[in-house]
Structure 1
Amino acid sequence: MDIAFSGKAVLVTGAAHGFGRAIALAFAANGAKVFACDVNAEGLAETERLSDGAVSVFTLDVGDCAAVRAAIERTGPIDILVNNAGGVRGQVGRPIEDISESDWQAIFDVNVSGAFFMSQAVVPGMKAKGAGRIINISSGAGLGISLTGIQAYASAKAAQIGLTRQLAHELGPFGITVNNVAPGFVRSNPTTERQWHAMGEEGQQKLIQNIAMKRLGSADDIANAVMFFASEQAGWISGQVLSVDGGK
C-alpha cells in the first residue's frame, strides 16, 4: 500500500513528544506540509530539529478557542487534522471525593474541548475543498477504564470517541472523514514512563501478559494507524475507533 501526502497540509496537536511527535515526523517523511503545536515549546523545538526543519512548529493551548482560531488563520486551510493533544495534566489517581472542579475541567479542556475547537476551526476550509480528514487520538481508557484511575481521563476519552462518531455523520456529506485511534499503554512520554516504573516488576509483567502480542508497542505503531486513516485508501471509513493495543 503506497501512502503519500504530497501537497497536503497537516496539523498535529500535542506534538512535543510521544505520539504527536511520531505522527508529525511520519507525515513529513511521507511528503506532507506539517504544522505541529503544543504548549511545550522546548519539546516542539526538538520535534522540529528531528524533522530537519520539515515540520513547522508553534505553541498553542488547544483549550483556548480564540487562540485556536487565530492559529488556523495563520496556517491557512488544513487538509488533515490530528487531535493528539491530551493526557492527564500531571494528575494522579485519587478518590472521587478528592477531585476539585479545576482538576476535572483541566483534563476535559485539553482532551475534549481542544479536539472540538480544533475541528471547528479547520472544518470551513475542508468544506470549501469538499474533502478532509480528522483523526482523534483517544485511549483504551475511553473504551474501558483508565489504568491511572483518573476519573476525568477515562470520561474525557470516552467523550472524545462520542464526538468522533457525531462529527463523522455531520461532516460526511462534505467529504470529510472523522476517525479515532485508541492506543493501549505505550511508553512514549514522561508521564507513561512514570506510570511504568510505578507499576513495579510484577505490575509490568501483569500488563504485558494481558496483551495478546505479549509486548508493548511504540509511538510509531500509533503513527502508522493515523497514516492509514489519513490516506486515500481510507476514504470510505468514518466514525470508527481503531484500538492499537497489541490485542486485548
Structure 2
Amino acid sequence: MNLNFEGHTVIVTGAAHGFGRAIAQAFAWDGAHVWACDTNAEGLGETARLAHHDGLSIQTRTVDVSDRAAVSAFVDEVVAETGRLDVLVNNAGGVLGQVGRPLEEISGGDWQAIFRVNVDGAFYFAQAAAPTMKRQGRGRIVNISSGAGLGVSLTGIQAYASAKAAQIGLTRQLAHELGQFGITVNNVAPGFVRSNPTTERQWESYGEAGQQKLLDGIAMKRLGSPQDIANAVMFFASDQAGWVTGQVLSVDGGK
C-alpha cells in the first residue's frame, strides 16, 4: 500500500516518546508537515532533535491537552501557519504515574486527572480541528485508546480502563456527526507495547513468570512495537480508508 502525505498538515499529541514519536516520524517520512506536542519538554526536545537529524518536517510545541485554551491556541497556530489541517492524531494519554489500587482508595482528583488527559484532550483537539476540516470538506481524526478500553486494564487502574472506553465512545459518536463533512474518525487500540518509561516499569514489575504469561496470551507470542501502532494510524489517515469510520482496530498481536 503506497501512502503519500506530501504537503499534508498533521497534528500528533503526546509525541515526546513511544507511539507519538513513531507516529510523528512516520507521517514526516511520508512527506507530511507534522506539528507534535506534549507536556514533556525534554522528550519533545529529543523528538525535535531526531527530526532535525533526519531532515524531517516536525515542529514541536509544549501543550497541555487538558487545557482547552492552550489546545485551541495550538490548533489556531498550525492552521494560520499552514492554511490547512488534514490529520489529527489524539495519542496523548496514559496513567500519569498512577498504579493499581483498591477502588476505595481512589481519590476524585486521581480519577479526574486520567479522564482529563485521555478523554478531555481528545475532545478539545477534535473540537478545535473540526472547523478547518469542515471547511476543507475532508479530514482524518485518529484516536489512540488501548486494549484496556475494550476489556480490562493490565494495571488494574479503574480510571484508565474507563477513560479509554469513553474515548472509544467519543470516536463512534464523532464519526456519525462529522461523516457528512468528509471527516472520518477512527480508533487504534494497542495491546501492551514496551514504548516508554511507564511501560518499561510495568514490564519489569511482572517478573520472568509474569512476562511469559503475558506473551503466552498473545496469539503471535511476541510484543509489538511503536511502529506497529504507527502503521495502523497511517492506514486510517490514508485515502485507502476513505470509507472507513467509527471503527476500532485492535493492534495487539491477537487476543
Q: In structure 2, the residue corresponding to 1:51 is in which secondary structure?
A: helix
Does residue 69 (structure 1) correspond to residue 76 (structure 2)? The answer is no
Scaled by the length of structure 2, what TM-score is found?
Answer: 0.96
1:18 matched to 2:18? The reply is yes
Q: CA deviation at 1:65?
A: 0.5
2:219 counterpart (207, 212, 223): 212
* Cα distance per residue 1:186-205 (max 9 Å; x no partner): 00000000000000000000
Match of 2:110 among 103, 115, 119: 103
Match of 1:4 in 2: 4
Cα shift at 1:237: 0.2
Partner of 2:28 in structure 1? 28
Which runs of 4 or more aligned residues in structure 1 lie more than 3 Å from their structure 2 counterparts after TM superposition?
Answer: none
Alignment of 1:147 with 2:154, yes or no, is: yes
What is the Cα deviation at residue 51 of structure 1?
A: 1.3
User: What is the aligned length?
Assistant: 248
Deviations 1:143-200 (A, max 9, x none): 0000000000000000000000000000000000000000000000000000000000
- 2: CA distance, partners of 1:168 / 1:119: 11
Pairwise CA RMSD:
0.6
Question: Quick one: which of 50, 56, 59 aligns to 1:56?
Answer: 59
* Alpha-carbon separation, structure 2, partners of 1:78 and 1:198: 41
> Offset at 1:46?
0.6
> Quick one: which amino acid aligns to residue 89 of structure 2?
V
**1: distance between equivalents of 2:41 and 2:239?**
32
Aligned equivalents of 2:190, 2:42: Cα separation in 1: 25
- Aligned mates of 1:36, 1:142 — CA distance in 2: 25
SS of aligned partner of 1:16: coil
String of CA shifts for 1:71-91, please: whole Å, max 9, x gaps: 111111321000000000000
Unaligned 5+ residue runs, structure 1? Answer: none
Q: Secondary structure at the match of 1:188?
A: coil
1:128 is matched with which residue? 135
Over the matched positions of the two proteins, sequence identity in percent amounts to: 73
Letter in 2 for 1:224: N
Q: Work out the CA distance in 2 between the residues paired with 1:176 and 1:54.
A: 24
TM-score using structure 1 length: 0.99
Contact 1:11 1:82 in 2 (8 A): yes
Give yes or no for contact 1:48–1:54 (8 Å, CA) kept in 2. Answer: no
Q: CA deviation at 1:54?
A: 2.0
User: Is the 1:164–1:239 contact (alpha carbons within 8 Å) kept by the matching residues of 2?
Assistant: yes
Question: Residues 209-235 of structure 1: CA distance to partner in whole angstroms, max 9, x if unpaired?
Answer: 000000000000000000000000000
Q: Which moved more, 1:42-51 or 1:148-157?
A: 42-51
Match of 1:79 among 86, 90, 98: 86
